[in-house]
Amino acid sequence: MSDTHPRAHAAGDAPSGASPWSGGVSVVVPCYRSEGTLADLVRAVVPALAALTPHHEVLLVVDGSPDDTATVARAVAAEHPAQVVRVVELRRNYGQHNALLAGVARARYAVTVTMDDDLQHRPDQLATLLAPLADPRTDLVYGVAVDEEHGAARSLASRVVKSALAIAGVPNARDVSAFRAFRTDLREAFSHVTDPFVSLDVVLSWATTSVERVPVRMDHRSVGTSNYTVRGLLKHAANMATGYSVLPLRLVTMLGLAVSVLGAVALVAVLGMYWTGRIQVAGFTTVVAMLGILSGALMLSIGIVGEYLGRLHVRSMQRPAYVVRPEPLATSALLDVPARPASAALSEHP
Residues 180 and 303 in one domain: no
- Report how far residue 94's alpha carbon sits from residue 76's, in angstroms, rounded to the nearest whole number: 23
Residues 202 and 273 in one domain: no
Per DSSP, the three-state class of 220 is coil
Residues 196 and 68 in one domain: yes
Residues 85 and 99 in one domain: yes
19 within some domain: no
30 within some domain: yes
- For the entire predicted model, the pTM comes to 0.70
Angle between helices 230-243 and 152-167 in degrees, nearest 10: 10
How confident is the model at residue 299, as a pLDDT? 75
How confident is the model at residue 233, as a pLDDT? 60
The boundaries of the domain holding residue 73 are 25-244+326-339
Here the CATH number for the domain that contains residue 160 is: 3.90.550.10
15 within some domain: no
Residues 278 and 335 in one domain: no
17 within some domain: no
4 within some domain: no
Number of separate domains in the chain: 2
56 strand-pairing partners: 25
Residues 330 and 266 in one domain: no
Residues 283 and 200 in one domain: no
Residues 94 and 132 in one domain: yes
**Beta-sheet pairing, 211-216 with 140-145:** parallel
Spatial neighbors of 141 by CB under 8 A, at least 6 apart, are 129, 130, 132, 133, 180, 181, 182, 211, 212, 213, 214
Residues 107 and 72 in one domain: yes
Residues 149 and 267 in one domain: no
E strand map for 63-149: 85-89, 111-114, 140-145
How confident is the model at residue 344, as a pLDDT? 40
Assess contact for 97 and 28: CB atoms under 8 A.
no
- What string of pLDDT tens digits covers the 350 residues of the chain? 334 444 444 444 444 444 666 789 999 999 999 999 999 999 999 999 999 999 999 999 999 999 999 999 999 999 999 899 999 999 999 888 899 999 999 999 999 999 999 899 999 999 999 999 999 999 999 998 887 655 554 455 556 555 655 655 667 767 788 899 999 999 999 888 877 778 888 889 888 989 999 999 988 766 655 555 556 666 656 666 666 666 777 777 777 777 777 777 777 887 787 788 777 776 776 777 777 777 777 877 777 777 777 777 666 767 665 556 676 554 444 444 444 443 443 444 33
Residues 240 and 253 in one domain: no
Report DSSP letters for 273-332, one per residue: HHHTT---STTHHHHHHHHHHHHHHHHHHHHHHHHHHHHHHHHHTT--S--PPPPGGGGG
How confident is the model at residue 303, as a pLDDT? 76
- Report how far residue 210's alpha carbon sits from residue 215's, in angstroms, rounded to the nearest whole number: 17
212 within some domain: yes
Residues 162 and 29 in one domain: yes
